[in-house]
Amino acid sequence: MLLTTCACCAAPLPTYGAGAKKCSRCSTRYCGQACQQQHWKEGGHDKLCKKIKRGGGAEAYHAEEKYKEAAAEAVSACAHETKDQTCYMCTAGAEKEGLVRGCGCRGDSGIAHLSCLVQQAKILQENDVGVQGTHEWWRKCKVCGQWFEGAVARALTWACWKHALVASYPEKYEQNIHQIMGMHLLSCTLRNEGCHSESIAVTRAKLDFLQGSSHAAPGSSFEIEAKEHIVLNLYDLERYEEALPLIRECYAAELARDADSDVSRRTALVYCRTLVRLKRVNQARVLYRKHITRQTDDIDVERAQVDYFAALLSEGVISQPELREAKRIMEERCKRARQAHGSDGPETREAKRGLAAFLRDAKGAFDSPADAESALSLLAELDSAVDADRHIRQGMSVLNLDGAPVLNLDDWRAVPDGEGGTIYLPPKSNI
Q: Give residue-wise pLDDT tens across range 58-116.
A: 989 999 999 999 999 999 988 888 888 899 888 898 887 899 988 878 777 889 999 99
Q: 101, exposed or middle or buried, with CB in 10 Å at 0-12, 13-18, 19+?
A: buried
* Highest averaged pLDDT of the listed ranges 182-186, 357-361, 426-430: 182-186
Report the alpha-carbon distance of residue 25 to residue 47 in Å, rounded.
Answer: 13
Report the alpha-carbon distance of residue 387 to residue 381 in Å, rounded.
Answer: 10
CA dihedral 143, 146, 152, 153 (to 10 degrees): 130
Q: What pLDDT score was predicted for residue 388?
A: 44
Task: Give the chain's domain count.
Answer: 2
Report the alpha-carbon distance of residue 143 to residue 102 in Å, rounded.
Answer: 12
The answer to whether 121 touches 156, Cβ cutoff 8 Å, is yes
Helices 58-78 & 45-54 angle (0-180, nearest 10): 80
193 within a domain of the structure (yes/no): no
**Mean predicted confidence (pLDDT) in 264-279:** 93
pLDDT range class, residue 383, cuts 50, 70, 90: low
204 within a domain of the structure (yes/no): no
3-class DSSP state of 429 = helix
Among the three residues 37, 54, 71, which one is the final residue of a domain in this structure? Answer: 54
Q: Using CA of residue 273, residue 318, residue 331, residue 355, what is the dihedral sign?
A: positive
* Ranges 42-56, 92-106, 135-149, 398-412: which has the least confidence: 398-412
Q: What pLDDT score was predicted for residue 336?
A: 83
Q: What pLDDT score was predicted for residue 406?
A: 40
49 within a domain of the structure (yes/no): yes
Domain range holding 413?
Answer: 399-430
Residue 98, φ and ψ in degrees, nearest 5: -65, 160
26 within a domain of the structure (yes/no): yes
Query: Residue 286: is its pLDDT beyond 90?
Result: yes
123 within a domain of the structure (yes/no): no
280 within a domain of the structure (yes/no): no
3-class DSSP state of 39 = helix
Q: What pLDDT score was predicted for residue 239?
A: 95
418 within a domain of the structure (yes/no): yes
Q: What pLDDT score was predicted for residue 393?
A: 36
Among the three residues 10, 34, 54, which one is the final residue of a domain in this structure? Answer: 54
pTM, 2 dp: 0.74
283 within a domain of the structure (yes/no): no
